[in-house]
């Protein structure tokens, strides 16, 4: 009993247990067939968005740098990973091929993250944001124009296509890996250094932190996970086009991170699920669904962030007494 | 002494005539800090000029002067937040001109800031442990997988942090968000954060600002205790003359970026140039 | 040589459109300290307003332009009032996300009302081809250039010579101090949005007359490019936005003509990255030294 209570006090443990339970239910439904087609189609994309949001949170929430090119990282991993996978399709079974391709995709994306991180050392705020956006667009443009990636028609991933049932175990492993790594980093000396750079760069330098090293590390790790997610995601389609992974997608991931709470791993997971589910929930509204999504997004931001509504929020939170809400640092950002 | 315009080229230094004295107990030891002809120009305006200073390894010294005299600028030059345009800084016998701000910290100089710069969204304990970055040794991989050593080293860091916090009786705040602390406590935490980098020289920028007389008296005592316990040098900027005169063994007075007086508290109090800088010239 | 001049002129035309949009971005950034991501979509609304006014309602060209400006101005002020004003003082990221939400909202509203099919912008100004010596260029391009030049001169005069312009510069410099000097920050910011959106309406006219076809997502790419241009020139700086916009347009056209239309975007963005790495605050942006 005592141990269980102790475990419940540990926020990270609660998050992991809840996540595991959710995946257990999903897996049972998927493999036993108690599931609609619509829901099946959501499982893999939702898992990918969890990975993307949690890894982007490392850059935006922990390091405090605005990154508008996260989809570009994913794209690099997707195309390198899938090209490798296609070339190995006849030689290796999925169980060996997919992890290998995810690793390779992750590493390639990590290298790209390093390249994007370099200017990040000199640039601040919006200037960095625009450079990350530009890098994402450059990647999109390059991949669209290369023959090896199928050009504008997209890469034919028919040979390596796998359905949700085949991909779920890998997706679950990747999600857990990402979530656990982020949780661990937060509680390590590296995580402290990263957050210190976010809170006050000058003070961070004055206590001897190597800002260059930590910033690059963050960009590389975030890109690695986005790339690994991309490599997996590519296997879910029969054809992938680079234009899908443009700045709009990067923004979509950023929205998840901000709504989930800066620096909160759990928040990113929840927001990824909710925001991916919203358009599906509103499917009955037909054409109105994206409209409703937009309105919900604006209202959510106004309700949670408007200084004018602060008294109202306080009232609400005192009603939900005891429900500790994780809030990260929010007084840093694009300015 | 003439300003060293092209000091970058003169790597070898000749012994300078000491224009500053150190406490008797430090007389035979090499100085921890020597500034020779230090200066900086901002867009043609010279903010600090011909700044000379020698500091003994266990000395507590004060840097005073009217607002805008360039005191904080001296700190920024010492810690390489600004790059000096003239002169040389010898810290612990080493020329610092190729060092970065982080490198200065590694060499053993730590500072606090006039406008408090804590890591406001981190806990009080994290503010201390993050400053032990170089002392807590485990790899990035170990930090990611929480491998062997991680737990032990984090425990060590925690114990050390609590030890540091006990200097100012702040253990009960360990889990609080640093930004939520009262002003005085934030100032104290900043001193502890600087201390936990294991410095040889501690630079304090207005440590008593915003404190009441009893808090200031306590702080005075604590700074002395810190010096005795860690055997380090302290250079502080302060407007509270009580604290400065009580605590400092040597004092350097700046006005308009130039040193106008140096000496013991007694000398400074008598110095006509200092009196003029603070009170203005008496009209004849 | 003739091809080069032609490319240069069409680049200037495209750059003018970017510059007009970039002005809106940079003014709002300088004064309200926020990235108005929905600004690009205001152009799309302006273009649809033009289509409705001319094609559906049959208004004469002058009224069409006037109506389009009016709609955009009102839209800009309304968005500011309901979506951004309540967030004044909140973190800049939350404002950014709200602006993104607003962008989605405008696009989807347009999608509902006008459908996903592209619509033709009425060509109410017909100038045909104009010959300048050996070079033949589109009359519309010259019109765009002329209009933009006039607006730029007008804006410079407004910002530097009028009382309202002075108030805007004061708010941009220090909001708190401006307020203490009796300047209404709220009204100044509203005015900034009004002007920025009116310029977007003008841009929508130039865009529509040049590129003809309008879709609900029409504003997105020019919006992003113009935002890039504003940063390129140094965000917050009006001359920077003009210079950045023109430079971006010319680079894009040159890349299209001399390298490959397929690689034009990559080249534009690569130049941007290089410039920012060399000059971290853009071409004309001021470097702000943090006070320690």
Q: What is the 3-state secondary structure (H, E, C) of C69-116?
A: HHHHHHHHHHHHHHHHHHHCCCCHHHHHHHHHHHHHHHHHHHHHHHCC
Residue A106 has pLDDT above 60, yes or no: yes
Q: What is the pLDDT of residue B281?
A: 66
Mutate to test the interface with A, among C22, C79, C101, C275 (most CBs of A within 10 A): C101
Q: How close B49 gets to chain A, by Cα (Å)? A: 24
> Dihedral (C-alpha) A18, A19, A23, A25: value to the nearest 10 degrees?
10
Query: A2-266 adopts what CATH topology?
Result: ABC transporter involved in vitamin B12 uptake, BtuC (1.10.3470)
Q: Which residues contact C187 (CB under 8 A, 6 or more apart)?
A: none
CA of B81: how far to CAs of A201, B41, C129, in Å? 11, 14, 59
Q: Which residues contact B53 (CB under 8 A, 6 or more apart)?
A: B20, B33, B34, B35, B38, B61, B252, B259
- Other beta carbons within 10 angstroms of residue A265's beta carbon come to 30
DSSP letter (8 states) at residue A282: G
Residue A334 has pLDDT above 60, yes or no: no
Going by pLDDT thresholds of 50, 70 and 90, the confidence category of residue A2 is: low
What are B75's two structure tokens? 């700190």
Q: What is the pLDDT of residue B6?
A: 44
H or E segment and range at residue B39: strand B33-42
Confirm if A44 and A236 have CB atoms less than 8 A apart: yes
Q: Do A331 and B121 touch (CB under 8 A)?
A: yes
Mean pLDDT of the C30-43 span: 90
Q: Do C87 and A306 touch (CB under 8 A)?
A: yes
State pLDDT tens for residues A204-261: 999 999 999 999 999 999 999 999 999 999 999 999 999 999 888 998 999 899 889 8
Q: How close A302 gets to chain C, by Cα (Å)? A: 7
What are B5's two structure tokens? 């315009």
Please give the Cα distance from C142 to B250 (Å, whole number). 74
State pLDDT tens for residues C83-98: 999 998 888 788 888 9
Q: Do B102 and A331 touch (CB under 8 A)?
A: no
Q: Which of A130, A158, A147, A322 is nearest to A237 (CA)?
A: A158
Q: Which of A328, A324, A271, A329 is nearest to A10 (CA)?
A: A324
Going by pLDDT thresholds of 50, 70 and 90, the confidence category of residue A329 is: very low
Mean pLDDT of the C33-62 span: 92
Partners of B120 on chain C (C-beta within 8 Å) are none
Mean pLDDT of the C71-78 span: 97
Going by pLDDT thresholds of 50, 70 and 90, the confidence category of residue A1 is: low
> What is this structure's pTM?
0.88
Q: Which residues contact B217 (CB under 8 A, 6 or more apart)?
A: none
Q: What is the pLDDT of residue B20?
A: 59
Confirm if C240 and C279 have CB atoms less than 8 A apart: no
State pLDDT tens for residues C274-285: 988 888 888 888
Report residue A69: phi and psi, to 5°.
-130, 25
What are C233's two structure tokens? 């020139």
- Range in A173-177, A313-317, B244-248 with the lowest mean pLDDT: A313-317
Residue A29 has pLDDT above 70, yes or no: yes
Q: How close A231 gets to chain C, by Cα (Å)? A: 23
H or E segment and range at residue B53: strand B45-55
Residue A135 has pLDDT above 70, yes or no: yes
Q: Which stretches within chain A are classed as H helix? A: 2-9, 11-32, 37-57, 70-88, 94-120, 125-145, 164-186, 189-199, 201-206, 211-234, 247-260, 265-281, 289-305, 310-319
Which residue in chain A has the smallest CA separation from C30?
A335
Neighbours of chain A (3+ CB pairs under 8 A): B, C
pLDDT string in tens for chain B (284-residue length): 444 444 444 444 444 444 556 777 877 788 899 999 999 998 888 899 999 998 999 999 999 999 889 999 999 999 999 999 999 999 999 999 899 999 999 999 999 999 999 999 999 999 999 999 999 999 999 999 998 889 999 999 999 999 999 999 999 999 999 999 999 899 999 999 999 999 999 999 999 998 899 999 999 999 999 999 999 999 999 999 999 999 999 999 999 999 998 888 888 888 888 888 887 765 54
Residue A283 has pLDDT above 90, yes or no: no
State pLDDT tens for residues C199-241: 999 999 999 999 999 999 999 889 989 988 998 898 888 899 9
What are B145's two structure tokens? 């997988």
Confirm if C230 and C29 have CB atoms less than 8 A apart: yes
Please give the Cα distance from C23 to B99 (Å, whole number). 42
Helix (H, G, I), strand (E, B) or coil at B281: coil
Lookup result for tokens 């290089």: C274
Q: What is the pLDDT of residue A317?
A: 64
Give percent above pLDDT 70 in chain A: 93
Q: Do B143 and A185 touch (CB under 8 A)?
A: yes
Please give the Cα distance from A1 to A7 (Å, whole number). 10
Please give the Cα distance from C101 to A296 (Å, whole number). 8
Q: Which stretches within B33-174 are classed as H helix? A: 71-78, 101-107, 124-129, 140-145, 150-167
The verdict on A39 touching C (C-beta cutoff 8 Å) is no
Q: What is the pLDDT of residue B12?
A: 46
Mutate to test the interface with A, among B121, B125, B141 (most CBs of A within 10 A): B121
Mean pLDDT of the C146-169 span: 93
The most distant pair of C-alpha atoms in chain A lies apart, rounded to whole Å, by: 63
Confirm if C282 and C276 have CB atoms less than 8 A apart: yes
Q: What is the pLDDT of residue C252?
A: 94
Q: Do B102 and A209 touch (CB under 8 A)?
A: yes
Neighbours of chain C (3+ CB pairs under 8 A): A, B
Q: What is the pLDDT of residue A143?
A: 94
Q: How close A70 gets to chain B, by Cα (Å)? A: 21
Q: How close B226 gets to chain C, by Cα (Å)? A: 25
Range(s) of chain A covered by CATH 1.10.3470: 2-266
Q: What is the pLDDT of residue B8?
A: 43
Confirm if C35 and C96 have CB atoms less than 8 A apart: yes
The verdict on A192 touching B (C-beta cutoff 8 Å) is yes
Q: What is the pLDDT of residue A321?
A: 43
Residue A327 has pLDDT above 80, yes or no: no
How are beta strands B201-205 and B109-111 bridged, if at all?
Answer: parallel
Give percent above pLDDT 70 in chain C: 99
Q: Is A202 exposed, middle or buried (0-12, 13-18, 19+ CB in 10 A)?
A: middle
Looking at the DSSP bridge assignments, the partners of residue B33 are: B55, B91
Report residue B97: phi and psi, to 5°.
-70, -15
What are B191's two structure tokens? 């001193």
Confirm if C110 and C217 have CB atoms less than 8 A apart: no
Helix (H, G, I), strand (E, B) or coil at B149: coil
Residue A126 has pLDDT above 80, yes or no: no
Please give the Cα distance from A47 to A50 (Å, whole number). 5
What are A292's two structure tokens? 């409703």
State pLDDT tens for residues A60-91: 999 999 899 999 999 999 999 999 999 999 99
Q: What is the pLDDT of residue A308?
A: 80
Which residue in chain B has the smallest CA separation from A263?
B121
Q: Is C288 exposed, middle or buried (0-12, 13-18, 19+ CB in 10 A)?
A: exposed
- Other beta carbons within 10 angstroms of residue B114's beta carbon come to 16
Q: Which residues contact B262 (CB under 8 A, 6 or more apart)?
A: B19, B20, B250, B251, B252, B253
Q: Which of A127, A60, A130, A222 is nearest to C94 (CA)?
A: A60
Partners of A59 on chain C (C-beta within 8 Å) are none
How confident is the prediction for chain C on average, in pLDDT? Answer: 91
Q: What is the pLDDT of residue C32?
A: 87
Looking at the DSSP bridge assignments, the partners of residue B123 are: B177
């Amino acid at each position: 009993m005592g141990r269980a209570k102790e475990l419940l006090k540990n926020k990270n443990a609660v998050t992991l247990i809840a996540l595991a339970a959710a995946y257990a239910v999903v897996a049972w439904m998927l493999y036993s067939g108690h599931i609609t087609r619509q829901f099946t189609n959501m499982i893999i994309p939702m898992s990918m968005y969890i990975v993307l949001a949690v890894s982007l949170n490392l850059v935006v929430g922990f390091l405090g740098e605005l990154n508008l090119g996260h989809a570009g990282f994913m794209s690099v991993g997707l195309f390198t990973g899938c090209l490798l996978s296609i070339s190995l399709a006849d030689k290796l079974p999925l169980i060996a091929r997919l992890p290998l391709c995810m690793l390779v995709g992750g590493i390639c994306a990590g290298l790209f993250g390093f390249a994007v991180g370099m200017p990040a050392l000199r640039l601040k705020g919006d200037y960095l944001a625009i450079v990350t956006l530009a890098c994402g667009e450059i990647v999109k443009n390059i991949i669209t124009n290369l023959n090896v990636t199928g050009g504008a028609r997209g890469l034919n991933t028919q040979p390596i296509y796998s359905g949700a049932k085949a991909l779920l175990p890998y997706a679950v492993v990747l999600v857990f890996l990402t979530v656990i790594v982020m949780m661990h980093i937060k509680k390590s000396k590296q995580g402290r250094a990263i957050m210190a750079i976010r809170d006050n760069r000058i003070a961070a330098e004055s206590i001897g932190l190597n800002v260059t090293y930590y910033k690059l590390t963050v960009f590389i790790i975030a890109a690695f996970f986005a790339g690994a997610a991309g490599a997996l995601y590519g296997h879910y389609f029969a054809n992938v086009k680079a234009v899908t992974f443009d700045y709009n997608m990067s923004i979509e991931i950023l929205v998840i991170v901000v709504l989930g709470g800066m620096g909160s791993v759990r928040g990113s997971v929840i927001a990824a699920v909710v925001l991916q589910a919203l358009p599906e929930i509103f499917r009955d509204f037909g054409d109105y669904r994206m409209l409703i999504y937009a309105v919900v997004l604006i209202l959510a931001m106004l309700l949670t962030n408007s200084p004018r509504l602060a008294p109202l929020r306080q009232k609400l939170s005192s009603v939900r007494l005891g429900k500790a809400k994780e809030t990260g640092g929010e007084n840093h950002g694009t300015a | 002494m003439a300003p060293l315009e092209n000091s970058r080229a003169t790597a070898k230094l000749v012994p300078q005539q000491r224009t500053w004295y150190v406490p008797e107990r430090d007389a035979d030891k090499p100085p921890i800090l020597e500034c020779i002809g230090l200066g900086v120009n901002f867009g043609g305006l010279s903010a600090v000029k011909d700044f000379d200073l020698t500091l003994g390894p266990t000395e507590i010294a004060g840097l005073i002067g009217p607002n805008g005299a360039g005191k904080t600028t001296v700190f920024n030059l010492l810690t390489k937040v600004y790059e000096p345009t003239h002169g040389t800084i010898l810290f612990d016998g080493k020329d610092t001109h190729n060092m970065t701000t982080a490198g200065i910290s590694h060499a053993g100089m730590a500072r606090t800031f006039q406008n408090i710069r804590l890591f406001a969204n981190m806990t009080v304990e994290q503010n201390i442990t993050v400053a032990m970055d170089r002392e807590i040794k485990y790899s990035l991989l170990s930090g990611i997988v929480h491998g062997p050593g991680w737990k032990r080293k984090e425990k060590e860091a925690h114990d050390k942090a609590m030890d540091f916090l006990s200097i100012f009786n702040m253990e009960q705040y360990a889990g609080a968000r640093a930004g939520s602390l009262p002003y005085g406590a934030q100032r104290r935490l900043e001193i502890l954060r600087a201390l936990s980098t294991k410095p040889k020289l501690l630079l304090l920028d207005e440590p008593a600002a915003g404190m009441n007389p009893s808090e200031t008296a306590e702080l005075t005592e604590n700074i002395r205790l810190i010096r005795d316990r860690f055997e380090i040098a302290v250079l502080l900027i302060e407007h509270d003359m009580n604290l400065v005169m009580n605590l400092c063994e040597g004092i350097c007075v700046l006005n308009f970026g130039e040193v106008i007086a140096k000496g013991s508290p007694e000398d400074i109090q008598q110095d006509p140039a200092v009196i003029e800088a603070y009170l203005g010239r008496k009209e004849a | 040589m003739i091809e080069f001049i032609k490319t240069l002129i069409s680049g200037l035309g495209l750059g003018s459109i970017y510059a007009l949009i970039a002005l809106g971005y940079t003014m709002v950034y300088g004064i309200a300290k926020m990235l108005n991501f929905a600004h690009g979509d205001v152009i799309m609304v302006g273009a649809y307003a033009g289509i409705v006014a001319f094609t559906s309602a049959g208004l004469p060209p002058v009224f069409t332009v006037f109506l389009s400006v009016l709609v955009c101005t009102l839209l800009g002020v309304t968005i500011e009032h309901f979506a951004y004003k309540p967030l004044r003082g909140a973190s800049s990221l939350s404002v950014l996300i709200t602006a993104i939400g607003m962008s989605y909202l405008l696009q989807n509203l347009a999608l509902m009302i006008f459908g996903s099919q592209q619509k033709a912008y009425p060509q109410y100004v017909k100038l045909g081809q104009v010959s300048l010596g050996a070079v033949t260029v589109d009359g519309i391009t010259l019109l765009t250039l002329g209009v933009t030049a006039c607006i730029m001169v007008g804006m410079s005069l407004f910002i530097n010579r009028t009382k309202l312009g002075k108030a805007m510069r004061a708010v941009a410099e220090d909001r708190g101090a401006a307020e203490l000097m009796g300047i209404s920050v709220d009204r100044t910011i509203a005015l900034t949005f009004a002007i920025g959106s009116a310029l977007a309406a003008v841009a929508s006219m130039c865009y529509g007359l040049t590129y003809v076809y309008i879709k609900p997502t029409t504003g997105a790419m020019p919006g992003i490019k113009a935002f890039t241009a504003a940063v390129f020139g140094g965000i917050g700086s009006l001359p920077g936005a003009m210079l950045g916009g023109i430079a971006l347009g010319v680079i894009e056209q040159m890349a299209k003509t001399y390298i490959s239309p397929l690689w034009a975007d990559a080249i534009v963005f690569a130049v941007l990255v290089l410039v920012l790495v060399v000059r971290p605050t853009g071409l004309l942006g001021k470097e702000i030294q943090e006070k320690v």
